Every structure is written in structure tokens, then in C-alpha cells.
Amino acid sequence: MSSMFMYVHENHGLSPTAGNAPQLAYTLSVLVLAVVLSASRRVALGEMRDEEGNEVDQAGFYDVIFGRRDVRGQFNGEPLNPAVLGRILTAAHAAPSVGMSQPWDFVLVEALPTRQAFHEHVQSERAIFEASLDDEARKRFSGIKIEGILDASLGIVVTYDPERGSPHVLGRHAIADAGLYSVCLAIENLWLAATAEEVGVGWVSFYREEFLAELIGLPAGLRPVAWLCVGPVTHFERVPDLERFQWQARRPLEPHLFVDRFGTPLNDSELIALPTKLMASD
């Protein structure tokens, strides 16, 4: 993996206070740290240390995890390398699935008329969402790009087939949604593999399932789970768009960890040590 990612994760996940207020300060501190780290890049190369200060050698893997972004505005429109696309989809197909049903299909949408029709539909759904917002939220929302359908090289629709492996899908009799969960695991594999290949992915969810099913000719019973915009990018942003545009800051992790029962906080549990410093660079 070459040198595209720099991730700074300073005390994030340790602060006991969630909240949207200090977004700008957080963003600025991330940028300042990024500049500092850029200068000492050779030193920081691949560095990631745990609580005890031991170097962790999985830095490349965590680079992918923390470098991944939901890309909307950075697609450069260049063609996607066919071998890269092949590997990304092979990675998706290697995801875990309930009863090993692998209940997904992938429709690679290159045709411009299809993408234009979807783009228009998404715009109309954007307007519906916008109308539900109060003035302050609407103002913040207005600057946020929500999709790169026409800018990306390709659309990939990932679908769910509940009949795959039926009637006896091992592990699904008690939880009907388990098949749908499997499709999401495949999507995350695809997303991370793309990131490792320095290819951007953006998940569009401003659409009605019936519209998309009709648009790409899904057989009855199959359900679209995602439209992914996929393609080469100019760069990956360091801070997620919704945080950059002050819609929603990332939350700290610790308030969402419990021991044995929901609501019992970690306190000084010896079970887990959250990283005080989590930094990985190519």
C-alpha cells in the first residue's frame, strides 16, 4: 500500500463526553497534527503503538481501516483498472455469510442513462430529506455533497437474494435479517479492499428500493442493499465529510462499551485497554 493515508487518532474514543460542539476544534487539531506528522513522516512510517508502547506490526491493515472514507467529491472519473475491480469483488465474495449462503449479487452499472436516471431520483430524495429539516440544519445540509453517481467510474448495486441456499439456511431460522446482514459484510469487504487499492467508494442511500429494483431489472424477491459509487480518486480526505461540514462529529468509543450487561460501564475493567494513541501511516 503506497503513501496515501495518514491517520491521526489522538485520544479519540477516550473522552467521556460526546457532543457536536467542538467539531471545528477537533478538525483543526487533526489538520495540525497531520502537518506535524507529515514532517516527521519517516519516523511515523507504519507506527502504531498499544498501551504498553509496543509497536504493532499490523499497521498496514489498520491504515486501511482508518484511511477508508465515504467518498463523494473526490472521484476523478478515470477508468477503473479491470484487475483491481476483479480483486475488490473477489474480496467482497470472500465475506462471511449466514450458512455460507453468499446471498449477494453485484450489478456493475456503467451505462450513463441508468446512472443519470438514478442521479435524478436521488436528487428528488435529497429534496424530501431537506424539506424535513429545520432552518439551521437545512443550512448545514445545503453544502454537503451526498453522492458521486456521475463522477465515479462505476456504480455497483449490491443486492440480497433471500432464496439463496434455501430452504435450510444454517443460522437463519431464528433471525430472518441474518441474510441481509451477510450482504453488508460483503459490502464492507469490498469497501476496505477498494481502500487498500486506493480506489474510492461512496454508499448512496437516498433512494427508494422499488425505484432502484425497477431501474436495474431486479427479479421479484431480490432487494437492493446499496448503490456504491466506485472509482479512482484525487485523494482521500483525512476527516469524514459529515464531520468536515459540521453535520455530525465522530463519537468517542468508551461510552458505548459495557461489561456483562448493557449500562454497566467499563470503569477500570482489566478486560480492555483502549489505545491512547492510534496512528498509522502507509
Q: Where is 140: in which H helix or E strand?
A: helix 135-142
Q: Tell which one of 24, 32, 35, 170 touches a copy of itself (CB under 8 A).
A: 170
Residues 114-153: x/- map of binding to a copy of itself (CB under 8 A)?
A: x----------x--xx--xx---x---x--x-x-------
HSE toward the beta carbon, residue 145, CA cutoff 13 A? 14
Residues 260-279: x/- map of binding to a copy of itself (CB under 8 A)?
A: xxxx-----xxxxxxx--x-
Residue 177 engages a copy of itself in binding (rule: CB under 8 A): yes
Task: Give the strand pairing for 104-109 and 154-160.
Answer: antiparallel
- Span 62-101, contacts to a copy of itself by CB under 8 A: 62, 64-66, 68, 70, 80, 82-87, 89-91, 93-96, 98-101
Residue 26 engages a copy of itself in binding (rule: CB under 8 A): no
Residue 51 engages a copy of itself in binding (rule: CB under 8 A): yes
Give the whole-angstrom CA distance, residue 227 versus residue 119: 11
Q: Tell which one of 31, 35, 36, 108 touches a copy of itself (CB under 8 A).
A: 108
153: how many CB neighbours lie within 10 A of its CB? 21
Give the whole-angstrom CA distance, residue 184 versus residue 169: 17
Residue 174 engages a copy of itself in binding (rule: CB under 8 A): yes
232: how many CB neighbours lie within 10 A of its CB? 19
Residue 193 engages a copy of itself in binding (rule: CB under 8 A): yes
Give the whole-angstrom CA distance, residue 93 versus residue 181: 14
